[in-house]
Structure 1
Amino acid sequence: MYNPTVARLTYRALLGRRRALILFALPALLIAISLAVRLLTGVDDKVAAELLGGFALATMVPLIGVIAGTGAIGPEIDDGSIVYLLAKPVKRPTIIMTKLIVAIAITMAFSAIPTLVAGFILNGNGQSIAIAYMIAALVASVAYSALFLLLGTVSRHAVVFGLVYALIWESLFGSLVDGAKTLSVQQWSLTLAEKVAGEGYVDSAVGMPTAVVLLALVTVGATAYAGQRLRRLTLAGEE
């Protein structure tokens, strides 16, 4: 279910000059803010949790997920170059799984690692806050990558829809409407972070069983449907 050639082409596309600038800019901004906050406030568990939750997990991780998830396949479908890939003797599920693995790897590398570094800068590992938010970023990376990869196969405006979900649904409605929190990748990942850091530093509105089930359903369901969409695209091209 993994093809090195497809992976190499996907990495090359995602780490091109334009996307790479955005991918590096967000973690760099997080680190810069963390350094400034540490110099101004010193070690503060509450401040660390607020910055990692409010910027790293709520903004940086989903944005990188949008870039990696939609960029793994969306541009190829939009410009028609996906036809050349589909003409190769590679199974369609292998293409989707390979692109998903690459998207997850990119999202994790550019979100979870900077989140851990920022956590240590802010307060060492007091109350395990740095580890907790790194775990949340890792888990969220998987779900976001699958979700936004699916968007890349169903719409030419995948980036727009991804930003709407990440920044409006999760950040706006998710913070104001209790029911919306249940349908939030951010809240699901926060549940795992809360388990590590403990209550008082990380707060989640979703229970552990619900979070685990929904994370699995979204990841598996989005990946499976993306594979179906790719197969339909192949049939349409062959016709």
Structure 2
Amino acid sequence: MSVASATYNPTVARLTYRALLGRRRALILFALPLLLLVISAAVRALSGADDQTAGDVLSGFALATMVPLIGVIAGTGAIGPEIDDGSILYLLAKPVKRPTIIVTKLLVAMGVSVTFAAIPTFFAGLILDGNGQHLAVAFGVAAAVASLAYSAIFLLLGVVTRHAVVAGLVYALVWESLIGNLVPGARTLSVQQWALALAQKVADPGAVSSSVGLPTAVVLLIGVMLAATWFAGRKLRTLTLAGEE
């Protein structure tokens, strides 16, 4: 058996995609990127191509608000509803290893997040200023990396609490959008700032700024994704035992 087949289950992936792209969640997933593109087109029509304005929209709305919200929908929706209604026990009863379930659902959540967050962010950058100072590419990369981290964090929340969506929204809107931007000490623990560190590296000098250095950002991004995945798998094993008892 290959490593890929041991960590990814097509059946689990198909069920997860179906749950994430159901009517209600799909509406939100499509609405947020559409709103970003509409805002970008309106800003471009009103103020023309301006790098500073483009950076403000991409950082203030796309990276600080849209990306974490999509992460909440994808990360918690990948497993939370199954735990809430108890149907996860039917999945756990199948001959599928628990780490495989977590990794498969995480990969699906990441794929959905990147598709609905990073790609629209890139196109919004093109609309705003035609990739001036490489902002479209920079923020597209930042959105993709942030999407990976948010997917892992919010998948973990979906496993550890029945109020994952509420907790995720509080984290996304209060911590990332408010505290992570305004409180200097908290910026080091902000996924948004880690992503901005990569955007700063990709964009032209001086076009993007981050409160976190690139090496620190990379280490924290990888560490958070690995830790969240590990804890989610551990919690899922505990959940299984409780259900069987």
- State the TM-score bracket (shorter-chain normalisation): over 0.9
Matched, 1:137 2:148: no
Cα deviations across residues 122-158 of structure 1 (Å, max 9, x unaligned)?
Answer: 1111110000000000100110000000000000111
- State the match for 1:102 in structure 2: 108
Q: In 2, distance between residues paired with 1:191 and 1:198?
A: 13
The residue identity in structure 1 corresponding to 2:113 is: T
Percent identical among aligned pairs is 73
Matched, 1:206 2:212: yes
SS in 1 for 2:162: coil
Q: In 2, distance between residues paired with 1:190 and 1:32?
A: 23
Shift of 1:11: 0.3
Q: In 2, distance between residues paired with 1:86 and 1:170?
A: 33
Q: In 1, distance between residues paired with 2:234 and 2:196?
A: 31
- State the match for 1:58 in structure 2: 64
Shift of 1:107: 0.3
Shift of 1:200: 2.7
- State the match for 2:91 in structure 1: 85
Cα deviations across residues 77-127 of structure 1 (Å, max 9, x unaligned)?
Answer: 000000110010000000000000000000000000100111101111111
* Most deviating of 193-202 and 178-187: 193-202
Q: In 2, distance between residues paired with 1:124 and 1:112?
A: 16
Q: In 1, distance between residues paired with 2:69 and 2:199?
A: 19
C-alpha RMSD of matched pairs (Å): 0.7
- State the match for 1:111 in structure 2: 117
The residue identity in structure 2 corresponding to 1:3 is: N
- State the match for 1:45 in structure 2: 51
Q: In 1, distance between residues paired with 2:104 and 2:94?
A: 14
Q: Residues 150-189 of structure 1: matches in 2 within 5 Å?
A: 150-189=156-195
Cα deviations across residues 28-47 of structure 1 (Å, max 9, x unaligned)?
Answer: 00000111111111110110
Unpaired runs of 5+ residues, structure 1, are none
Determine which of 8, 18, 22 is the counterpart of 1:12.
18
- State the match for 1:221 in structure 2: 227
Unpaired runs of 5+ residues, structure 2, are 1-6
- Kindly tell me the number of residue pairs found equivalent between the two proteins: 239
- TM normalised by structure 2 equals 0.96
- TM normalised by structure 1 equals 0.99
Cα deviations across residues 42-71 of structure 1 (Å, max 9, x unaligned)?
Answer: 110110010000000000000000000000
